[in-house]
Amino acid sequence: MNLGLQGQVVVVVGGARGLGRAIATLFAAEGCRVGLWDIAPEVTATATALAAHAWRLDVTNMAAVRACAAETWHYFGAVDHLVFAVGVASGQFGFPFWNVEFERWEPVLRVNFLGAVAVAHGFAPLFAARRQGTWLFLSSVAGQIGSQTDPPYSAAKAALINFTQCAAKDLAPLGVRVNCLCPGMVATELNRSVWQAWADRQTPATYQDYETWAAEKIARLVPLNRWQTPEDIAAMAVFLASDRAANITGQTINVDGGFVMHW
């Protein structure tokens, strides 16, 4: 699909692997110049594969984020689109919520939510001065339903949805659109890290291997009865950056096979 994005610049935060990599790959296929931010060492290899440029940093370090935003902007001359695709889980099954140790909450909230706020602070003055562009934050359907699977993850993603609306209201008069994309059940390493602790609670009498257990869960919960793919998420991310979505801002859009339906 030609969305008229050729030559435009996108920065994907969390672009080394998973959904971030899929999004960066599709932007590159659309002819965009791509910058990747990630704390993972794989960011260099991913950047090489996509003919992109890599910056390795911790998004919870505000000083590093401000410096990297300025460096990235200078390197490209400007940035047209910003995607925040960072996510970590607590690694503990969250029902009841006090099953998750209190100490596990802070790192999840810090990375998934405050990391996004830090990136927003780093780039906001630059986008505001230029008076154009788009931002996209990857949240989750877990942020809409109070998921008991991983309460810290769910709470952080809910906060990100609300922050998206705040940022969209502030930046709309300056010509910058801000939206939130909520993946559903995507077979990524992160999804498995959230679900594995749940699957591990099976009793010996009813035990199923993870793939069988997860497939049955998808069949129960997802009306379209299939996993979503990283490419599904990437397709919506790229569309929202294009002029075809020029009147869409402040929205939370689900790509989830019908799992969460609003009225």
What are the pLDDT tens digits along the chain (263 aa)?
679 999 999 999 999 999 999 999 999 999 999 999 999 999 999 999 999 999 999 999 999 999 999 999 999 999 999 999 999 988 777 678 888 889 999 999 999 999 999 999 999 999 999 999 999 999 999 999 988 888 999 999 999 999 999 999 999 999 999 999 999 988 777 777 767 777 777 788 888 888 888 888 888 889 999 889 999 999 999 999 999 999 999 999 999 999 899 76
Q: Residue 97 has what pLDDT? A: 86
Please indicate, yes or no, if residue 132 is contained in any of the structural domains: yes
Contact assessment for residue 142 and residue 153, using Cβ atoms and an 8 Å cutoff: yes
**Which CATH number characterizes residue 118's domain?**
3.40.50.720
Residue at 3 is within a domain: no
Q: Answer whether the bond into residue 96 is a cis peptide, omega within 30°.
A: yes
- Spell out the SS3 assignment of the chain: CCCCCCCCEEEEECCCCHHHHHHHHHHHHCCCEEEEEECCCCHHHHHHHHCCEEEECCCCCHHHHHHHHHHHHHHHCCCCEEEECCCCCCCCCCCCHHHCCHHHHHHHHHHHHHHHHHHHHHHHHHHHHHCCEEEEEECCCHHHHCCCCCHHHHHHHHHHHHHHHHHHHHHHHHCEEEEEEEECCECCHHHHHHHHHHHCCCCHHHCCCHHHHHHHHHHHHCCCCCCECHHHHHHHHHHHHCHHHCCCCCCEEEECCCCCCCC
Residue 4, in any domain of the structure: no
The pLDDT, as a whole number, for residue 185 is 86
Within a domain: residue 251? yes
| pLDDT computed for residue 94 by the predictor | 67
pTM: 0.92
CB 46 within 8 A of CB 17: yes
Indicate whether 2 belongs to any domain: no
Q: Which domain holds residue 241?
A: 9-255
What pLDDT does 30 receive? 97
Q: Which of 75, 153, 207, 210 is catalytic?
A: 153
**Is 138 contained in some domain?**
yes
Are the CB atoms for 68 and 57 separated by under 8 Å?
A: yes
Q: Is residue 89 part of a domain?
A: yes
- Determine the Cα–Cα distance for residues 132 and 226; give it in Å rounded to an integer: 37
> What pLDDT score was predicted for residue 113?
97
The per-residue pLDDT for 165 is 98
| Residue 153 falls in the annotated catalytic set | yes
Q: What number of other Cβ atoms are within 10 A of residue 239's Cβ? A: 15
Number of separate domains in the chain? 1
Residue 17: inside a domain, yes or no? yes
Identity of the residue numbered 89 = A
pLDDT at 40: 96
